[in-house]
């Protein structure tokens, strides 16, 4: 957030000790931000009214109210009318070493919601997507263990269940954060989202994505013989089922998501890469047993909702080449051509930074303004260009 607006907000919140006044102050700040670029005098009048309501003297900030800074865009004009697709990493919902209780996940999501709320307060339009690996894995385990009592659900249904659960966590945490900031008019909504994939995608012939619990080799071979599933030995920890990871072709609910975003809602969509479906020649959809990479689906969603910026949040501050070697180098601003060269050189692992880099490249190549890969804690600074890896045309 630009210096002047940050100062105003801090002063308002410091002076307005009761919640109603704080909400009035926050609304006034939003109004100021909305008119500053076009009408400095009007903005100043709004501030004066707000200052009387909240017992803040105009003298506190009068030196900061000069036309030159406003005309230069110091008040966050970058944010105005910019739509950002925020792709949350796993650490936004579940931290390493945690068991995955509802309380743990809600606590993590509250922290994440505060970051998203700060972007909204800065003037960005936000669409959110998220991962679901640990959550859908837990649901699969619950289905496996309970299958002797109730029928187990297929993987596409488990993915839908995870979208509903995480969407609930995010919606509830976001509305609480926004209400505390006086921005309760910005309403979050979760859309259970299907993502179309090509039934002829080569990934269906070579399943590689591990899911679900670990089993003994004997049990795995029995399952393969009975059902035709593919299982692999996973790093000495046991045997796990693997499923295809096809490329996303189209977000089925993209028009609904875009219309909701245009109407001012904070939309949570395409969680976990979306529910994979294929379309028949007659136009009917059916779910398939697969997992779509969440970052590649995020890029597809960003294009279809006409986002200006793709912001991929993870647990590292930037993209690195020669990662964890003496030659390690963190990338700040980088062009598509430069990042493509690093990718060809093999710097980004398929199961880690690789899909994030690929998503960033696709987004900018397809006409996106820029893509950013950054730490969750640096989200707002990354949007202003002060943190993270900025991928430019």
Q: Read off the tokens for 55.
A: 């017992």
CA dihedral over 359, 360, 365, 367, signed as positive or negative: positive
Q: Which helix (H) or strand (E) holds 69?
A: helix 67-71
Active site residue 176: no
Question: Residue 141: which H helix or E strand, with range?
Answer: helix 133-146
**Whose structure tokens read 């993590």?**
108
The pair of structure tokens assigned to 192 is 């259970």
Q: Is 346 a catalytic residue?
A: no
- Residues 8 and 33: beta-carbon distance below 8 Å: no
What is the C-alpha to C-alpha distance for residues 340 and 349, in angstroms, rounded to an integer? 14
Question: Catalytic one among 76, 137, 143, 209?
Answer: 209
Q: What's the DSSP call for residue 273?
A: G
Q: Which residues contact 196 (CB under 8 A, 6 or more apart)?
A: 248, 249, 250, 251, 252, 277, 278, 279, 285
Residue 360 Cα to chain centre, angstroms:
13
Catalytic residue chosen out of the listed positions 91, 108, 132, 143: 91
| 151 Rama sector, left if φ>0, alpha if ψ -120 to 50, beta otherwise | beta
Asked if 242 and 209 touch (Cβ cutoff 8 Å), the reply is: yes
CA distance linking residue 134 with residue 167, whole number of Å: 15
Main-chain phi, psi angles of 76, to 5 degrees: 85, 30
Q: If 0-12 CB within 10 Å is exposed, 13-18 middle and 19+ buried, where does residue 44 land?
A: middle
Q: Which residue, 132, 139, 152, 145, is CA-closest to 227?
A: 152
356 catalytic residue (yes or no): yes
Catalytic residue among 132, 356, 368, 388: 356
d(CA 17, CA 191): 36
Active site residue 97: no
- 90, 182, 272, 368: which one is catalytic? 90
Q: Yes or no: say if 192 and 164 are a contact pair by the CB < 8 Å rule.
A: yes
> Quick one: 192 exposed, middle or buried, by C-beta within 10 A (0-12, 13-18, 19+)?
middle
| Active-site residue, 230 included | no
Task: Provide the phi-psi class of 273: left if phi over 0, else alpha when psi is between -120 and 50, else beta.
Answer: left
Q: Active-site residues: which are they?
A: 90-91, 209, 294, 356
């Amino acid at each position: 957030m630009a210096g002047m607006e940050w100062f105003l907000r801090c002063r308002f919140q410091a002076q307005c000790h009761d919640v109603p006044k704080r909400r009035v102050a926050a609304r006034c700040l939003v109004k100021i931000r909305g008119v500053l670029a076009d009408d400095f005098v009007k903005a100043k009048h709004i501030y004066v009214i707000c200052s009387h309501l909240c017992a803040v003297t105009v003298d506190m900030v009068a030196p900061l109210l000069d036309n030159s800074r406003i005309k230069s865009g110091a008040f966050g004009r970058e944010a105005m009318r910019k739509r950002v697709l925020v792709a949350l990493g796993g650490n936004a919902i579940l931290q390493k070493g945690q068991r995955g209780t509802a309380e743990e996940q809600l606590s993590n999501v509250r922290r994440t919601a505060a970051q998203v709320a700060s972007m909204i307060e800065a003037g960005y339009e936000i669409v959110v997507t998220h991962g679901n690996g640990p959550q859908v894995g837990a649901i699969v385990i619950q289905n496996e263990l309970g299958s002797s009592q109730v029928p187990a659900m297929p993987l596409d249904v488990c993915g839908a269940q995870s979208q509903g659960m995480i969407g609930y966590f995010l919606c509830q945490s976001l509305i609480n954060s926004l209400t505390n900031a006086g921005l309760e008019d910005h309403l979050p909504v979760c859309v259970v989202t299907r993502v179309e994939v090509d039934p002829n995608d080569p990934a269906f012939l070579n399943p590689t994505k591990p899911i679900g619990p670990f089993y003994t080799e004997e049990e795995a071979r029995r399952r393969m013989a009975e059902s035709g599933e593919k299982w692999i030995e996973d790093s000495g920890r046991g045997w796990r089922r693997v499923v295809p990871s096809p490329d996303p072709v189209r977000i089925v609910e993209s028009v609904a998501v875009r219309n909701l975003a245009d109407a001012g809602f904070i939309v949570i969509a395409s969680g976990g890469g979306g529910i994979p479906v294929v379309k028949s020649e007659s136009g009917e959809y059916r779910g398939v047993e697969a997992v779509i990479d969440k970052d590649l689906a995020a890029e597809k969603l960003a294009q279809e909702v006409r986002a200006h910026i793709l912001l991929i949040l993870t647990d590292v501050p930037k993209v690195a080449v020669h990662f964890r070697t003496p030659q390690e180098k963190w990338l700040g601003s980088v062009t598509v051509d430069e990042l493509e060269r690093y990718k060809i050189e093999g710097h980004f692992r398929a199961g880690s930074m690789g899909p994030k880099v690929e998503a960033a490249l696709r987004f900018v190549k397809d006409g996106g303004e820029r893509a950013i890969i950054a730490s969750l804690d640096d989200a707002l600074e990354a949007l202003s260009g002060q943190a993270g890896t900025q991928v430019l045309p």
